């Protein structure tokens, strides 16, 4: 496997693009050897859906497109980033607001931490931001039995 692999897609900020983003990432992960039924694949698809939904719904028309980047670094870390040009960074909403919506970042953080990863947000040159998740990449690692045999 190469030291660094990457794939990217830029989509219009419209609801139909969320499913396109999810399918794109699923295909990339499949090409890189992650089975569709792996827990990590399920988590990443859900995370991408939530991040893409945020890029569509919460940019209020100020980001006509969003970009999904998928990186595999040294075969050790899978990084997925969703970039939009809206200046507002994601934040947790008060519990009262979260009853009907606003749970996306909570879900993303929980899935990322559960998988042993981390979530970061970085600014872009155009004043927007990229929300990144990084997860350990376990494809190709030997499976050991619980007893160590």
Torsional class of 60: left (φ above 0), alpha (ψ -120 to 50), beta (otherwise): left
Res. 149 pLDDT band, cuts 50 70 90: very low
Beta-strand runs (E) in the chain: 4-12, 65-73, 77-84, 118-123, 129-136
Q: In order of start, what are the domains of the chain with their CATH numbers? A: 4-136 (3.30.565.10)
pLDDT tens sequence across 85-125: 988 887 765 554 545 556 788 889 999 999 999 999 999 99
Contact predicate 135/77, CB 8 Å: yes
Predicted structure pTM score? 0.85
pLDDT tens-place string over residues 117-146 = 999 999 999 999 999 999 999 886 544 434
pLDDT, tens digit, 9 for 90 and up, residues 25-79: 999 999 999 999 998 999 999 999 999 999 998 877 788 999 999 999 988 999 9
Q: What is the pLDDT of residue 102?
A: 61
Is pLDDT of 84 > 50?
Answer: yes
């Amino acid at each position: 496997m190469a030291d660094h692999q990457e794939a990217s897609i830029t989509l219009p900020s419209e609801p139909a693009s969320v499913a396109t983003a999810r399918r794109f990432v699923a295909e990339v992960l499949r090409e890189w050897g992650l089975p569709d039924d792996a827990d990590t694949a399920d988590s990443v698809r859900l995370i991408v859906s939530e991040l893409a939904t945020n890029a569509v719904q919460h940019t209020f028309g100020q980001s006509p497109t969003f970009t999904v980047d998928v990186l595999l670094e040294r075969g050790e870390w899978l990084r997925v980033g969703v970039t939009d040009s809206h200046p507002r960074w994601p934040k947790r909403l008060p519990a009262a607001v979260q009853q009907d919506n606003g749970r996306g970042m909570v879900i993303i953080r929980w899935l990322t931490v559960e998988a042993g990863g981390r979530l970061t947000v970085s600014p872009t040159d155009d004043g927007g931001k990229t929300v990144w998740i990084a997860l350990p990449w376990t494809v190709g690692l030997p499976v050991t039995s619980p007893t160590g045999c």
